Structure formats: C-alpha cells, structure tokens
Amino acid sequence: MREYFGSLSKGQVWLFTPQLALLGLTFLRYLSILYTAPIIVSLAAIWGWLDYTKKTHRAALELLSQFEVLLDDFGRLNFEQGGGAEDKRIVKLLDIVPPESNAMRPEIASAEIPGIKDLFLVFQFWYFSMRDKVRIMMRKAGVLLDYDLIELANDFVEFYNGYVEKIAEGSLRLLSKQELVRSARARGIFKNFATNLSELRGRSNIFLKKLRSYGYSISGMDVRPLGTDPWADSSNESPQPETSYR
C-alpha cells in the first residue's frame, strides 16, 4: 500500500515539473503559447486525475482498515474457542443447557441442535471467506474498486444479521428457559455475548453510516440488535438455585 501511494506521488511530481518548465519557457517567449497551452492543460488534467485517485484510494483503504477491525472483533466474539470453561461463544449454550421440553417434544428439540451447529459452521466458513477477501484487498490497494467495498459491506450486513437471528436467537429459543436462567455459567456467557455484541453493533452501524456519507450505495439496512433476552423478565430476577451444566 505504501509503495503504491509512493509511486503515485512520484508520477504527480513528474507531471507537475514539466508544467512549470513549459510555463517558464512560454513566459520568456521561447515557446509559443499555442504550442504549450494544450500540453499544459493535458498534463494538468492527468495530474488532477492522479491526485483524485490517490485521495479516493486512501479514503477507501482507511474504510477497509476500519472494516477489518470490526470483522476481527466479530470473529473473536463468536468463533474463537477457549478451552473448557473459557469458551464463551453463544453457541456453547447448546452444550451446557438442555432443550426446551414445553414447546416441542424433547426428541424434536434435540434434533434441532445439530442443525444449528451445522449452520454455525456455515457462518464460520463465511466469516473466514470475508476475512481472507479483506486481506487480499488490503494487499492489492492499487486495484481497489468502490464496487468491492460496497459488496463487502452488504455481505457483512447479511452475515451479521443472519448470525444473530439463526445462531444466537435460534439457540436461545431452543433451550429450556427455566434451566437457562438458573445456570450461572450460561448467564455469564450470555452477558459477555450481549455486551460485546451491543458495542460491536454500535460501531458497525456508525461505519455503515460513514460509508453512505461517502457516497457508497450500500444497502439501507443496519445491523440488528439481539432480540432475545431470557433474563429480561423480572420474574426471573428473583434468587434461584444456581446449577452448573457440564
């Protein structure tokens, strides 16, 4: 990236220097203005285009760097697995809390769990694909197109909202609410996820707003909040025996 902007700046210098020389020769009447004017105008147009290209690419790369941070933070929250009790991914709740037995038969609920875990792997591969694409775009700064950034932003919105709906909320709806709110470990996992996701959502929507203010025609959608909180009901806030599921 640094080499690209360096070569672009050198190109501008090489274009600007002949302009000054031609203006000087014209002023001293060594050359006719009829000869130098078209050349000066052409060089000025090329110089202006290079200057515009440098500024727009720098802005795009700054936005891409900000997006890379958001994506990495999302990955750390949802896809980095700690060892044993340190695993605080929201999908871990499927292993420590039994499924709800009131809404559906236990065998049906149990059958839903592998489906969510399989879908989690799909989102994980999706995440790695986006992360690799960002890194490739960062390395190829000279050919970064606005379309690439627009496509990446729209993909992120779909990815983020899909994960919240299908993995996070899907897991919480499937689990036994009574057992969920009794588990101290489950509460810790949920609190960590909800707090970090809320902060990440705020930064993501600010980033999307900035993209739109720069003229990028991205989707009008924002990333959505988490809509399920088993502990929100005040009746569940009363002291209850805490159980630990392994």
pTM confidence score: 0.72
Q: Which residues have a Cβ under 8 Å from the Cβ of 217 and sit 6 or more positions away?
A: 150
What's the confidence (pLDDT) of residue 6?
A: 44
What's 62-214's CATH class?
Answer: mainly alpha
Ranges of each domain in the chain: 62-214
- Per-residue pLDDT at 204 exceeds 90: yes
Question: What tokens does 176 get?
Answer: 């036994």
Asked whether 241 and 182 are in contact (CB, 8 A), the reply is yes
Higher pLDDT, 49 or 234: 49
Report the alpha-carbon distance of residue 186 to residue 174 in Å, rounded.
Answer: 14
**Which residue do the tokens 């900000």 mark?**
66
Report the alpha-carbon distance of residue 195 to residue 201 in Å, rounded.
Answer: 10
Q: pLDDT category, 28, cuts 50, 70, 90?
A: low
Residue 68 CA, distance from chain mean position: 6
- Per-residue pLDDT at 126 exceeds 80: yes
